[in-house]
Structure 1
Amino acid sequence: MDLDLEELIPQPASVKSDVLTLSFPNGCTVTLTVDSAVGCGGNYWPAGEVLATYLAHRGGLNGSKVLELGSGTGLVGLVAAKLGAEVLITDQLPLLNTMEKNIRLNELSGSVTALELNWGGPLPDIPLSGVSLLLAADCVYFEPAFPLLVRTLEELCRPNTEVLFCYKKRRKADKRFFSFLKKKFTWTQVLDDPGREIYCRQNITLLRLKLKPRLE
């Protein structure tokens, strides 16, 4: 049976296609095309906004190389680029056009690249040793993809890679994702976020993941 992701998770209130201007701490502003016609990834979601806000609050990304998984519109990665990082935003093929449009809207073609990346599939041909920060927001929603997401996180990580993972708890099935995740990662909650008290009440959690040592 084919599963429709839009039946599994609630859709945010938005028109089919629109252009939004979003403001974040420290004067960071992003112009964003949202388009529900390409599926749930064409909208922006609460955990993505939380992670983008945290990055803007923290700052300090000049010269960093950043990769975002499940980028959708590219919001989180675009904020990272506004903070001075070189960014790879990745998602499935139907989202590439939306991501590329948003790169152009924000005049970030020199610092952001959109790539197709299917969880569990081959990785793009990129120098992973240079990626210092891995980002993922609102990626816990489709249960069959849970082990694929963990596999891709593991393959992208190096011992010194910082991983920021933000998610909104929606269903009891989400616990299964963490049963897969704990086989490969440990994690702690990010505590230095001034918005934490607010978004925790919305069942949103921001985590810092650490790859467990690989057994020889």
Structure 2
Amino acid sequence: MMAVTQPTSLLLDNPPEPVVSLNEIALDEALDALDPLRHLRTDSDASEFARADEDTVAIVPLQPRSILGETIRLTFPVDFPLVSISLKVDASHGCGGIAWPAGEVLSNYIAFRGIGYLQGKNIVEVGSGTGLVGLVAGALGGTVWITDQAPLLDIMQQNVTLNNLQSCVSVRELNWGETPPSDIPPPELILAADCVYFEPAFPLLVQTLSEMAVSGSTEILFCYKKRRKADKRFFTMLKKKFSWAEV
């Protein structure tokens, strides 16, 4: 290996600016068209305007990537796939239009229990969002109603059709605190993934669960992310109506 140095006589006090090719300019313009504010962010160290010896300030805060009209594929159980679900996700109507970890965990749990666990059961998923958990339950042999507020009914129906589960999964509007649809029979199993996050809705959700679980043998499976101390209030309310344990 040898080192090559520039002769002293060629060193310049004001070196020329680096040459930028037309391809680089075109790429830069294309990136600017996609994100006009990209040079004002500090989330990328690739900006030619940033220097390592300068303190950079985030003029525009980093924004999460928007999820619009995407389709993903998930399998359950994760280690030994039994069910494969294609899922359209779209955040246009809020947080309910995307897949959250609690839904994937609950889906994995019921798939792990196997087909015999759900076969022939009437099942209702509340706060379904995309309908993921209910779709898995339907694929495992259950007769399922996936429910949520009106803005999410379309994406749920698209996901039912996408997975050819129209024969066993139905979509219904259900606002917590209101009377459940009359054509949903008393469920043997109620599924709820990540429904504990909005404190004003806690008593409404408990009311809905109480009205649907008319049989003493109704089982409710909850999966949620612990976010704040207020979550404990929900389970305090739940204890007045149900007995529960961690699984």
Bucket of the pairwise TM-score, normalised by the shorter protein: 0.7 to 0.9
Q: Is 1:103 the equivalent of 2:155?
A: no
> Counterpart of 1:182?
239
Q: 2:175, 2:219 → 1: CA distance?
A: 21
Helix, strand or coil at the partner of 1:185: coil
Runs of 4+ in 1 over 6 A off after TM superposition: none
Distance 1:12 1:32, change over 3 A: farther
Task: Tell me the TM-score normalised to structure 1 length.
Answer: 0.79
User: 1:120 is matched with which residue: 177, 182, 199?
Assistant: 177
Mapped partners of 2:245, 2:65: distance in 1: 31
Rate the CA distance shift 1:75–1:13 in 2: closer, same or farther, 3 A: farther
Tell me by how many angstroms 1:20 deviates.
Answer: 0.3
Q: Indicate conservation of the 8 Å contact 2:120/2:142, yes or no.
A: yes
State the match for 1:49 in structure 2.
Answer: 104
Q: Name the amino acid aligned to 1:50.
A: V
Unaligned runs of 5+ in 1: 1-10, 191-216
Which residue pairs with 1:136 in the alignment? 192
SS in 1 for 2:156: helix
Greater relative contact order structure (CA < 8 Å, 6+ sep): 1
State the match for 1:77 in structure 2.
134
Alignment of 1:1-216 (within 5 A): 15-25=67-77, 26-59=81-114, 60=116, 61-129=118-186, 131-157=187-213, 158-190=215-247
TM-score (norm 2): 0.70
**How far has the Cα of 1:178 moved from its partner?**
1.5
Aligned residues: CA RMSD:
1.6
**Take 1:24 and 1:155, find their aligned partners in 2: how far apart are those partners?**
30
- Residue correspondences, number: 179
CA contact (8 A) 1:12 1:45 kept: no
Is the radius of gyration larger for structure 1 or structure 2?
2
User: Does the CA contact (< 8 Å) of 1:32 and 1:102 recur in 2?
Assistant: yes
Distance 1:14 1:106, change over 3 A: farther
Sequence identity percentage: 59
Unaligned runs of 5+ in 2: 1-62
**How far apart in 1 are the matches of 2:64 and 2:87?**
15
Q: Distance in 2 between matches of 1:160 and 1:185?
A: 11
